Amino acid sequence: MTDKKIRVLVAKPGLDGHDRGAKVVARALRDAGMEVIYTGLRQTPEMIAEAALQEDVDVVGLSILSGAHMALAPRILELLKKNGQDQVKVFIGGIIPDEDMPRLKEMGITGIYGPGASTDDIIKDVREAMRLRNT
């Protein structure tokens, strides 16, 4: 009789090797009682979508510091959709210029977080997205 846990995939697409942010977020989500699947560095969009499918996650968190977000994010969204996982909510953390944010939101990215974002906000937004999805 366990209540349904929120399952989150934290993934790091692209070629930069800075995963401290991703680890901090993974740890914060863990402390908020979520089950976080951590995939490690240098994942392709295909690898991320495949892991999201196998793990049947509710949320995918992408950490992108390389500047390639406008190429990576739509590709990942497309692959999730192709796999029938339209209901998965995608969040991005990293260095995202202000002018790209509206377009990312339009594509279907649920939340975007830059340097200095509080993990409490991320947790609150993930929970809210789950609540909206389930009602």
Partner 1 sequence: MSFTQSILEGNRLALARLLTQAENDSAEGRAALTELFQYTGRAHLIGVTGAPGTGKSSLVNQLALYYRKNTDKKVAIVAVDPSSPFTGGAVLGDRVRMRDLSGDSGVFIRSMATRGALGGIAQKTASLVQVFDAAGYEIIIIETVGAGQSEVDVARLAHTTIVVEAPGLGDEIQAIKAGILEIADILVINKADRPGVENTERALRSTLELAHPTKRVVRHHGATMSMAAPTIDSTMWIPPIVKTIATEGKGIDELVQSIAKHVEHLRQSGDWAARDHARLGSEMDLLIREALMDRFLENIPQKKYDEMIEKVANRNISPYEAIKLLLNGNLK
Q: Residues 66-95: x/- map of binding to partner 1 (CB under 8 A)?
A: -----------------xxx----------
Structure tokens belonging to residue 106: 């339009």
Question: Applying CB under 8 A, does 15 fall inside the site for partner 1?
Answer: no
13 secondary structure, DSSP code: B
* Nearer residue to partner 1 within complex by CB, 51 or 101: 51
Largest CA distance in the chain: 46
Residue 75 burial (CB count, 10 A): 17
Angstrom distance (rounded) from CA 53 to CA 83 = 7
Part of the chain binding partner 1 (CB under 8 A), chosen from 37-45, 62-70, 110-118, 124-132 = 37-45
* Nearer residue to partner 1 within complex by CB, 18 or 103: 18
Residue type, 81: K
* Nearer residue to partner 1 within complex by CB, 37 or 130: 37
